[in-house]
Structure 1
Amino acid sequence: MAQAGLSNLPPLEERPRPRNVSREEALQLEGHRHACHVMLYAPTTAKLFERVPIRYIVLMMMRFDGRLGFPGGFVDTRDSSLEEGLNRELQEELGSSFDTLAVTEKDYRSSQAREFPQKGVTHFFTKELTLEEIETIEKEAVFAKDHGLEVMGLVRVPLFTLRDGIGGLPAFLSNNFIGNSKSQLLYGMRTLRLLREDQIQDAMWASQNIQF
């Protein structure tokens, strides 16, 4: 039986795919809602079980709908810049740390426009922080306005694969992600070279073959 509300949708192969656009092109689109999200990361010398190097901490968050995503949200480009709107969202979701740790235009990475099911543009930022700054954000996030409401908590992305070939990043990638946040995570890992390409490919393959 077809689910209510889905019977009128065109087949997947006929739906328009999101397309990469420049920042300038994105801001000139008419009738599109704009959303900005940021991947916060920091280098670390920590090791799991004193033998598995972690190398980088990458923050994502568990959303109110049970899906993983990056901090951020919708911004109104009519009265503020992308960065101003994003920083307001970060203050609500992550707390007072972003009174000083503001995302700037130099942290901008990419934009992707979609026409289906609603017109929208997602803008992606990455910002490198120190380990101390990351830990401060994690501590203060529980006092943020949206904690326990829109944000259930912050999570660290495991940038390693355990000996069983499943634990770590492969298992993490098998979770449910909101929108294009999974592709943004992969894009961030690649462009920032947080992992080698073969490590990413192996983790992706393993995540698609996990049997629960």
Structure 2
Amino acid sequence: MYHSMALNFYQRGDKQAKLQMASGGQLSRAEALACTGYRHACHVMLYSDTKSQLFRRTPIRHIILMQMRFDGLLGFPGGIVNPSKESLEEGLSRELLEEIGVAVPISEDDHVESCYAPASPTSSSSSSSSGLILHFYVKKMEEEQILDIERSAASVAVDHGHEVLGMVRVPVYQTKSGGGLPLFLSHSFIGNARLQLVDNLLRFGLIPAKHLLKALRLSMETHKHNAQDLRAALELTKEKLN
């Protein structure tokens, strides 16, 4: 798992002064809250079980919600919270009200992990990214509750059409043609959201590891084809400019 790859943990005698972390450095919830000079962001994976089927033959098994962000990247609902004014869970619930139209109650029991934000491609690998700590939660709900969230997100959420362009479901299944999860994983995700998704699909037993491995391999092949398409589109655009 990606969370087993944290590098060079800070020296215990001087926490705040020596936080020189590579991307994904892991923290306990208490350690994260003890850090000063850092911003905090909370996100959550909301999911439910379902007996519904795709085309009445392919079991969907689980409804897992993500969202298309304003920047065109896939991510989980949530955002920046201020632990000096609210608990992490209260802040996350507030962000959910804005983004999905429902103030889903989040508890400490839903907390999965805290980590330093991955370094951006332009930042130094020896420092945490912009002083941001990420907190991730997973909450299982009833299917009807998930359906209510989908309806609210498109009708009453104040951020719909602005910061959030729409909620999307993660297709945990795979079609015979390689559609479903392999193609979904080939899209662009914000930060470490793709790794969070993969990790928690396994952590909560939502997909067998061998099926996920196959999906990831197919996704990598799709990336190669996408790169070829982008190069072709680039050349076409260059020709139009000449």
TM-score scaled to structure 2, two decimals? 0.78
Cα distance in 2 for residues equivalent to 1:126 and 1:34: 17
Q: 1:107 aligns with which of 97, 106, 110?
A: 110
Cα distance in 2 for residues equivalent to 1:117 and 1:69: 17
Is the counterpart of residue 183 in structure 1 residue 186 in structure 2? no
Contact residue 116 and residue 129 of structure 2 kept, 8 A: no
Cα distance in 2 for residues equivalent to 1:127 and 1:201: 24
Instruction: Report how far residue 117 of structure 1 moved.
Output: 3.2
Name which of structure 1's ranges 140-149 and 53-62 shifts more when overlaid on structure 2: 140-149
Q: Which amino acid aligns with 1:148?
A: G
Structure with the higher helix share, 1 or 2: 2
Match of residue 30 from structure 1? 36
Contact residue 65 and residue 167 of structure 2 kept, 8 A: yes
Instruction: Report how far residue 127 of structure 1 moved.
Output: 0.6
Contact residue 81 and residue 92 of structure 2 kept, 8 A: yes
Instruction: Report how far residue 64 of structure 1 moved.
Output: 0.3
Q: Percent identity?
A: 45
Name which of structure 1's ranges 105-114 and 125-134 shifts more when overlaid on structure 2: 105-114
Cα distance in 2 for residues equivalent to 1:17 and 1:59: 25
Q: Which amino acid aligns with 1:18?
A: G
Match of residue 169 from structure 1? 181
Deviations 1:13-47 (A, max 9, x none): xx923211110111111221110000000000011
Match of residue 96 from structure 2? 90
Q: 1:78 aligns with which of 78, 81, 84?
A: 84
Cα distance in 2 for residues equivalent to 1:76 and 1:163: 46
Measured on the aligned residues, the alpha-carbon RMSD in Å equals 1.2
Match of residue 75 from structure 2? 69
Q: Which amino acid aligns with 2:88?
A: L
Q: Which amino acid aligns with 2:193?
A: S
Match of residue 7 from structure 1? none
Q: Which runs of 5+ in 1 are unaligned?
A: 1-14
Cα distance in 1 for residues equivalent to 2:23 and 2:78: 23
Instruction: Report how far residue 173 of structure 1 moved.
Output: 0.3
Is the counterpart of residue 152 in structure 1 residue 152 in structure 2? no
Deviations 1:21-78 (A, max 9, x none): 1101111112211100000000000111211111000000000000000000010011
Q: Report the secondary structure of 2:92's partner residue.
A: helix
Q: Report the secondary structure of 2:31's partner residue.
A: helix
TM-score scaled to structure 1, two decimals? 0.88
Is the counterpart of residue 202 in structure 1 residue 208 in structure 2? no
Match of residue 12 from structure 1? none
Deviations 1:94-142 (A, max 9, x none): 11x32xx311111111111144331111100011111100111111112
Contact residue 50 and residue 61 of structure 2 kept, 8 A: yes
- Of structures 1 and 2, the one scoring higher in RCO (CA 8 A, sep 6+) is 1
Aligned residues: 194
